[in-house]
Structure 1
Amino acid sequence: MDSKFYKGLDAKGQEKGLLKKHGDTYASKNASGTGPFIVTERQQGVRVDFERFDGYWDKKSPGNVDEIVLTPIKEGPTRVAALLSGDVDFIFPVPPNDHDRIKKSANTDLVTLGGTRIISFQLNQERVEAFKDKRVRQAVNYAINNEGIVKKIMKGFATPAGQQGPKGYAGYVDDLQPRYDLKKAKQLMKEAGYEAGFSITMMAPNNRYVNDAKIAQAVASMLSKINIKVDLKTLPKAQYWPEFDERSADMMMIGWHSDTEDSANFTEYLTACADEVSGWGQYNSGNYCNEVVDTLVKKAGSETDPATRTQVLQDVERKLYEEAAFVPLHWQNLAWGASKNVAAKDVVNVMNFPYLGDLVIKE
């Protein structure tokens, strides 16, 4: 943030530099930066208009786009239809069911990349006594068919996950694979004294991740096979995140991409002991806490030898796997759709931050 631009009070008497989640602040409506575009109009939830910034510092940028209109289209099929009809030029995400439609069109291209965003569920140990038992958490993991979800719901457009970080990240462990085994799940429930099962609530978004609501429905169905009865509620993301912050259900979905491209970032936010001061565990709705894990991640943060650091983070992944600290489902792949004259392939990346400043529209 530009300290000079955000200095002083706004019309409401609030500090211009105030950052507030889900809040109506000056900073949330007044942009300041050095990017290739400036915001000329914003209708929240409807559209955002951008105009190219003449004073942009990168004079070698190949980008030739002067204006961009960003239009939120919540439903996947509607989004795809808008692209195919020519109403829009560039969309994300493209649901797996619609990949072939875009591929077969003479006017559009499908651009795909392997993704690194983990889609997972967290088990709230403060709300459900059974989730404090490692055997029950393990049983939940054994009861969920990750590969089945990827094959049937994601149409193969995802990678089944057994840990936080995908292959290629520091901390990835080859032998930590998805562990679907319904017989083993039932055995663990019996050993823990929960053979008769119990009831829980579950929440998930229905327009944040690819097929998120369908995934939640599938997981709820799978858990019924070990006598865990699920009361599922799915919500639009704007309504879901305040509920997530309140830890409003016993089992909640969250997806996460590591900004640092290694597994430490996952742990710091998703599985570390919650600490309001440091921000660690900020998105740990399961309230899992293991001081040994936190100590290891902090050690990795100060370790300068890459090989040693990788070993430390692998120890973290092994510990989380053994304790079934959370429920990993899959790493979500990325798919964009674009008109033939839009050079989308040149600006997309696995971080899913398309660099529109360099976007070229072919004449």
Structure 2
Amino acid sequence: MNFRKTLAAALVTSAMASMGVASAQTIRIGNQGDALSMDPHSLNESLQLSVTNNVYEPLVARDRNLNLVPGLATSWRQTSPSVWRFELRKGVKFHDGAPFTADDVLFTFARASGEGSDMKSYTNDVKEVRKINDFTVDIETKGPFPILPDVLSLLFIMNKKWSEDNQAQRPVDRRKGIENAASFRANGTGPFRLRERQPNVKTSFVRNGSYWGKIEGNVVNVEYTPIGNDATRVAALLSGQVDVIEPVPLQDVARINASGKSKVMQGPELRTIFLGMDQKRDELLYSNIKGKNPFKDKRVRQAFYQAIDINGIQRTVMRGASKPTALMVGPGINGFDASMNNRLPYDPDGAKKLLADAGYPNGFEVAMNCPNDRYVNDGGICQAVAANLARIGVKINLQAETKGTYFPKILRRDTSFYMLGWTPGTYDSHNALNALMRCVDDKGSGQFNLGAYCNPKLDELTVKIQSETDKAKRDAMIKEAFQLHTDDIGHLPLHQQALAWGVANNVELVQLADNFMPFRFMSVKAGK
């Protein structure tokens, strides 16, 4: 007997029985990339967190409007400026039947803040997590931290015993290529269970028939398939081989809408796409300049900024589906200030002069790392940037690759010039300041500041911002911090991209501005 097939059949039967339906509803999703692991602490990347968010849950969750709602904690309150008490939900079971308790919360925080974790920027300001009883924990922060519940909404709880039994006490370390059982198996409390994992081929999920909460949709099975080729992904949707695709190639939006079988759901996304530069090493790893680092010179960073024709990229590469930005956060993020969102002018001649003033009148050569299957038209954007920089004498050796190899490389900081996209998981500017712009330490500050930009004054402001409760004062400090970063040209912000999902006409789902795709909101309409 094939135990896996028997178990899967039992899970489907249980789910169908709990729904009271005669046949299992299935949704087939085609995405341009795959989640790199089922480990919820191994990669702080939206696609991976979107997938694992269906299997695992945080203490504090978000609803279909991105508002905070109770998750594995039923309530939370501050008992002092630096201590939060969380009352945990009783009667919740992990997918293997084990009960959820405070021990799992303590284990998760230790795991997420430990070696190999990519979620340290969510725990770096936590001083201690204490068990009060089986269903109450206190979380003490290093200072007042009023947005702690927002921060915890992407920290997914794992089962302590399962992790220990499966030698998965530490996260899968994407930087070192180290795998463990949590990469291929999962044991969460969420509305869907992992049924089968075939990396880069297909991952299957089944509705959790014993889920503690309400599942609004009627879907029982979800088949998630990576389809990297744009034309193949669109063809799969139009032929009915898949029901949902993400993203829709911008050139195919009209064709899908005219098909009569599917439609394109479009909307603003909270993600900002930007470029980063190694500003720490005394000599760049991948450049023809020896003995020094051009990116340490603000004039060089400014030359790169003003050489990029962002309006041309918006027009030709993004087909209008982007909003150029001067900031590292966009509209919809708390602290965004439209009055600051003014880019330096596109000025190739001025950029050439800046390079010459910095001692590079003939430009120089540098490698640029870029994914080609993560963001909307990411490869095309990097090609356009390379062409723009060639006009000022900078030769870009473009290295575009699948995100499966791209992210481990840049997360090791094995890069001189790179692309990254960022959606603040807290929907607050502090998240971007803490993760992207703060000076790097070994506790999680600046964990995704991969070029090691550093301004101690910005660090001081970031610490004050996280504890300030007066909104006006807090907004003023955020503005000051962003102005410091802008003046330093710490990164090269490009744009906010737009969401574009292709959806069959018989499918209903919720499109969230953080680009998460919750299975619990999906339904297949009858009679279609």
Q: Is TM more than 0.5 here?
A: yes
- Partner residue of 2:473 out of 305, 308, 320: 308
> Is residue 159–residue 188 contact of structure 2 (8 Å, CA) maintained in 1?
no
Q: Secondary structure at the match of 2:226?
A: coil
Identify the residue that residue 245 of structure 2 maps to in structure 1.
91
Residue 47 of structure 1, CA deviation: 0.9
- Partner residue of 1:268 out of 417, 434, 445: 434
Are 1:34 and 2:189 counterparts? yes
Q: 1:193 to 1:258 in 2, by over 3 A?
A: same
Q: Distance in 2 between matches of 1:4 and 1:176?
A: 45
Q: Secondary structure at the match of 1:81?
A: helix
Identify the residue that residue 288 of structure 1 maps to in structure 2.
453
Q: 1:9 to 1:54 in 2, by over 3 A?
A: closer
Q: Secondary structure at the match of 1:333?
A: strand
- Partner residue of 1:63 out of 217, 224, 232: 217
Identify the residue that residue 129 of structure 2 maps to in structure 1.
none
- Give the unaligned 5+ runs of structure 1: none
Are 1:317 and 2:478 counterparts? no
Identify the residue that residue 348 of structure 1 maps to in structure 2.
511
Amino acid at match of 2:307: A
Residue 130 of structure 1, CA deviation: 1.3
Deviations 1:43-83 (A, max 9, x none): 11111111111112234x43111111111111222111100
> Is residue 17–residue 26 contact of structure 1 (8 Å, CA) maintained in 2?
no
Deviations 1:319-352 (A, max 9, x none): 11111101111111111111000013xx221011
Identify the residue that residue 168 of structure 2 maps to in structure 1.
16
Q: Distance in 1 between matches of 2:342 and 2:197?
A: 45
Amino acid at match of 2:423: H
- Give the unaligned 5+ runs of structure 2: 1-156, 285-292
Residue 286 of structure 1, CA deviation: 1.5
Identify the residue that residue 107 of structure 2 maps to in structure 1.
none
Identify the residue that residue 326 of structure 2 maps to in structure 1.
162
Q: Secondary structure at the match of 2:524?
A: coil
Q: Secondary structure at the match of 1:6?
A: helix
> Is residue 171–residue 317 contact of structure 1 (8 Å, CA) maintained in 2?
no
> Is residue 248–residue 501 contact of structure 2 (8 Å, CA) maintained in 1?
yes
1:215-230 → structure 2 map (5 Å cutoff): 215-230=381-396
Q: Distance in 1 between matches of 2:357 and 2:332?
A: 37
- Root mean square deviation of aligned Cα: 1.6
> Is residue 115–residue 158 contact of structure 1 (8 Å, CA) maintained in 2?
no
Q: Distance in 1 between matches of 2:331 and 2:503?
A: 28
TM-score by length of 1: 0.93
TM-score by length of 2: 0.65
Amino acid at match of 2:266: T
Q: Secondary structure at the match of 2:164?
A: coil
Q: Distance in 1 between matches of 2:190 and 2:255?
A: 34
Are 1:207 and 2:362 counterparts? no
- Partner residue of 1:132 out of 266, 281, 296: 296
- Partner residue of 2:309 out of 145, 150, 170: 145
Q: Distance in 1 between matches of 2:239 and 2:163?
A: 46
Q: 1:41 to 1:3 in 2, by over 3 A?
A: closer
Q: Distance in 2 between matches of 1:3 and 1:356?
A: 22
Identify the residue that residue 299 of structure 1 maps to in structure 2.
464
> Is residue 272–residue 294 contact of structure 1 (8 Å, CA) maintained in 2?
yes
Q: Distance in 1 between matches of 2:159 and 2:217?
A: 29
Q: 1:32 to 1:229 in 2, by over 3 A?
A: same
- Partner residue of 1:6 out of 145, 162, 181: 162
Greater Cα radius of gyration, structure 1 or 2? 2
Residue 169 of structure 1, CA deviation: 2.5
Q: 1:9 to 1:160 in 2, by over 3 A?
A: same
Q: Distance in 1 between matches of 2:447 and 2:160?
A: 30
Residue 7 of structure 1, CA deviation: 4.8
Deviations 1:299-320 (A, max 9, x none): 1011111221111111111111
> Is residue 172–residue 317 contact of structure 1 (8 Å, CA) maintained in 2?
no
Q: Distance in 2 between matches of 1:103 and 1:307?
A: 44
Residue 190 of structure 1, CA deviation: 2.6
Q: 1:37 to 1:332 in 2, by over 3 A?
A: same
Deviations 1:146-177 (A, max 9, x none): 12111110001111111101124233232332
Q: Which has the higher contact order (CA 8 A, sep 6+)?
A: 1
Q: Distance in 2 between matches of 1:324 and 1:7?
A: 43
Aligned length in residues: 355
Residue 136 of structure 1, CA deviation: 1.2
Q: Distance in 2 between matches of 1:71 and 1:85?
A: 15
Which shows bigger deviation, 207-216 or 161-170?
Answer: 161-170
